A and B are shown apart, each in its own frame.
Chain A
Amino acid sequence: MDARPDQVASNNRILRQSALESMTPAVSLRSVSRHFGQVRAVDAVNLDIAEGEFFALLGPSGSGKTTCLRLIAGFEQPTSGAVVIFGEDATRVPPYRRPVNTVFQDYALFPHLNILDNVAYGLMVRGEKKAARHQAAEEALSLVALGGFAGRKPSELSGGQRQRVALARALVLKPKVLLLDEPLGALDLKLREQMQSELKALQRRLGITFIFVTHDQGEALSMADRVAVFDRGHIQQIGAPQDVYDRPETPFVADFVGSSNVLPSNMVEQLAGQSVPASLRPEQIRLTDTDGKLIGNVIGSAFLGAANRIELDVGGVRLSVLLPKTAAVPDLGSLVNLTWDDGALHVMRGEHV
């Protein structure tokens, strides 16, 4: 909800430009579908992720984002379509031969190995000598600020520390693409915010492609260079956080990413003459004494600290409006006139929620 797109916007543009310059995408899904019986978990998804990008797969649970990640990792085989990694068709390549590594949601640390051997595992199965792999593991652990924990067992670590171990274990193999499945989901709020900036800094330092799955729009918007919004197996929109937030292409994106008001097409036809749904951000609506574009009945209000939010009923459509703290909050049941600047009303593709 509290997206802070501005702070990453400038950074995004630079990265997006460099992404366009490099011709081969790091990961490319070409009309990939994964069906489980009747369920179309992923349905004809096309996606290009550039090298060095911090990319978010965002969507509610069951939207297909995790299946997409698992298709890239190789744990799932597409029902149809192709998974291409750095220009090579990886559709039938087993997970252990893909240049990608995963940080699992439950971290999946090996309980019978200590932290050092957990991190060194990937090098061990590659046949690296003990001294060499332990040294590399030590370096990876210090990268995630866990230098002194080598001898401990995973059960002796906190959730945040386990996550760093999982990160070190994946990074020690120097993957070209790092996949993160709800990386911050199991952490508490404070730790989550700290890890957000650490992950971002780490990605910038290492310069490798990060693809992460999240259902938290705030997390996606603040961390990612680009976001793909998933709903029911389809990608609804791909774009920079600012684009997705300000210019949602479908009512779903408007509602899920921006918590924006979605005006149905008949209402938009009266307002703008087009029979398509439109998004109208709550903070862009103002109350006015005269010449309102719409009239609404106040049915609820909430104090949010920095602002007040009021809920309105406009001819059966529920709208929320963010009022600056200085503005007076109208009484429940009163009728108010609503207006907004031209251009605030953003028309979308026809598809309805």
Chain B
Amino acid sequence: MHSKASLGLKITATCGLLFLHLPILLIFVYAFTTEDKSYQWPPPGFTLEWFGVTWNRPDVWEALGLSLRVAAISTVIAMVLGTLCAAAVARFKFFGRETISLLVILPIALPGIITGISLRSAFNIADIPFSFWTIVLGHATFCIVVVYNNAVARFRRTSGSLVEASMDLGATYFQTLRFVIMPNIATALLAGGMLAFALSFDEVIVTTFTAGQQQTLPIWMLEELVRPRQRPVTNVVALLVVLVTFIPILAAYYLTRGTETVAGQGK
């Protein structure tokens, strides 16, 4: 099946990849530039100064802290609710099962702006003041989807008779959860959780609608770009964001890879 790619195809593919990734590289380069008013190319010189400046900026720390807390709590909520929902949909037949499955996935299919507006008006109607928790709630809507999708796929591939076998052998519900279900879905949950964390960490649109005065890191960056001072600080933060989101996604990929030998499927 592996035939050699033609020269034209190779060139086109290379150009496409460069087009996609060069701008990202550019962001990294500007984190080291000596010029702080405008993005000048080529950079007049390189320095590590901005890392120090970033380190001493309390607003960066505040935004980073908020983003990490929001991401962590949204992920925890998503992991609990997403897993339970996946277990129900994968294991039981009940009235409205397909509808629930669709409703859970909907937030990720809907444009973020719709989710944002609807949440904002809902908060208004219910007279809920914007706070840390409204951001978390907004993020949880799409974080649940990622966890749910990962978990439901694993539940479907894990034979239902494993649970029955465990109970048959004398394990209580809790023991079955601990010794059979958790080991079989752990990697899927971890992967889903990491993806959810990464999604929440760099979310802008829904956050814009559900945040009050607080600034999460992406929102802070957006604000910072229009200000003309210490621009490379934004780039240093961008570098940080890439690391924080990329590492979990990579880890999630490695965790769910190589699980083709599926739990309880083989005879």
Contact A111–B165 (Cβ < 8 Å): no
Q: Quick one: given A112-B183, A112-B184, are A101 and B263 in contact (CB under 8 Å)? A: no
CB-nearest residue of chain A to B183: A112
Contact B164–A104 (Cβ < 8 Å): yes
Instruction: Scan residues 39-91 of chain A and give those whose CB is less than 8 A from a CB of chain B.
Output: 73-75
**Any A CB within 8 A of the CB of B40:** no
Shortest CB-to-CB span from A98 to chain B, Å, is 8
Contact with A along B115-149 (1 / 0, CB 8 A): 00000000000000000000000000000000000
CB-nearest residue of chain B to A179: B168
Q: CA–CA, A113 to B168, complex, Å?
A: 17
Q: Quick one: given A125-B171, A173-B170, are A108 and B184 in contact (CB under 8 Å)? A: no
Contact B179–A108 (Cβ < 8 Å): no
Contact A104–B170 (Cβ < 8 Å): no
CB contact between B175 and one of A110, A125, A159 (< 8 Å): that residue: A125
CB contact between A73 and one of B168, B172, B183 (< 8 Å): that residue: B168
**Any B CB within 8 A of the CB of A191:** no
The interface residues of chain B lying within 8 Å CB-to-CB of A94 are: 167
The interface residues of chain B lying within 8 Å CB-to-CB of A105 are: 161
Contact B179–A125 (Cβ < 8 Å): yes
Contact B183–A75 (Cβ < 8 Å): no
Q: Quick one: given A111-B184, A125-B170, A126-B170, are A154 and B266 in contact (CB under 8 Å)? A: yes
Q: Quick one: given A125-B170, A125-B175, A126-B170, are A104 and B263 in contact (CB under 8 Å)? A: no
**Any A CB within 8 A of the CB of B240:** no
**Any B CB within 8 A of the CB of A245:** no
Shortest CB-to-CB span from A342 to chain B, Å, is 50
Q: CA–CA, A175 to B167, complex, Å?
A: 14
Q: CA–CA, A256 to B99, complex, Å?
A: 43
Contact with A along B233-265 (1 / 0, CB 8 A): 000000000000000000000000000011110
**Any A CB within 8 A of the CB of B34:** no
CB contact between A102 and one of B168, B172, B263 (< 8 Å): that residue: B168
**Any A CB within 8 A of the CB of B102:** no
The interface residues of chain A lying within 8 Å CB-to-CB of B175 are: 125
Shortest CB-to-CB span from A166 to chain B, Å, is 8
**Number of cross-chain contacts by CB at 8 Å:** 83
Q: How many residues of B are counted as interface, with CB atoms below 8 angstroms from the partner's CB atoms?
A: 23
How many interface residues does chain A have, given as a range? Answer: 20 to 34
Contact B261–A155 (Cβ < 8 Å): yes
**Any A CB within 8 A of the CB of B27:** no
Contact B164–A95 (Cβ < 8 Å): yes
**Any A CB within 8 A of the CB of B205:** no
**Any B CB within 8 A of the CB of A230:** no
Contact A101–B168 (Cβ < 8 Å): yes
The interface residues of chain B lying within 8 Å CB-to-CB of A124 are: 179
Q: CA–CA, A344 to B166, complex, Å?
A: 50
Q: Quick one: given A96-B172, A125-B179, A159-B267, are A108 and B167 in contact (CB under 8 Å)? A: no
The interface residues of chain B lying within 8 Å CB-to-CB of A210 are: none
Contact A96–B168 (Cβ < 8 Å): yes
The interface residues of chain B lying within 8 Å CB-to-CB of A170 are: 168-169
Instruction: Scan residues 98-130 of chain A and give those whose CB is less than 8 A from a CB of chain B.
Output: 100-102, 104-112, 121-122, 124-126
**Any A CB within 8 A of the CB of B162:** yes
CB contact between B162 and one of A97, A102, A108 (< 8 Å): that residue: A108
**Any B CB within 8 A of the CB of A281:** no
**Any A CB within 8 A of the CB of B180:** yes
The interface residues of chain A lying within 8 Å CB-to-CB of B172 are: 96, 125
The interface residues of chain B lying within 8 Å CB-to-CB of A100 are: 168
Contact B161–A106 (Cβ < 8 Å): yes
Q: CA–CA, A186 to B267, complex, Å?
A: 8
Shortest CB-to-CB span from A182 to chain B, Å, is 12
The interface residues of chain A lying within 8 Å CB-to-CB of B164 are: 73, 75, 95, 102, 104, 108
Contact B165–A108 (Cβ < 8 Å): yes
The interface residues of chain A lying within 8 Å CB-to-CB of B170 are: 96-97, 122, 125-126, 173
The interface residues of chain A lying within 8 Å CB-to-CB of B261 are: 111, 155
Q: CA–CA, A162 to B165, complex, Å?
A: 14
The interface residues of chain A lying within 8 Å CB-to-CB of B169 are: 96, 101, 121-122, 125, 169-170, 173
Q: Quick one: given A96-B168, A125-B170, A155-B261, are A108 and B161 in contact (CB under 8 Å)? A: yes
Contact with A along B162-203 (1 / 0, CB 8 A): 101111111110010001100110000000000000000000
Shortest CB-to-CB span from A92 to chain B, Å, is 15
Shortest CB-to-CB span from A192 to chain B, Å, is 14
Q: CA–CA, A111 to B185, complex, Å?
A: 12
CB contact between A111 and one of B166, B168, B264 (< 8 Å): that residue: B264
Q: CA–CA, A177 to B264, complex, Å?
A: 25
Selected A-B contacts with CB under 8 Å, 14 pairs: A75-B164, A75-B168, A96-B172, A101-B169, A105-B161, A106-B264, A108-B165, A109-B264, A110-B166, A110-B180, A111-B184, A112-B263, A121-B169, A121-B179
Given contacts A102-B165, A105-B161, A108-B165, 4 further A-B contacts (CB under 8 A): A96-B171, A111-B261, A121-B169, A186-B267
The 7 closest A-B pairs by CB, nearest first: A122-B169, A108-B165, A108-B161, A125-B171, A95-B167, A111-B263, A112-B183
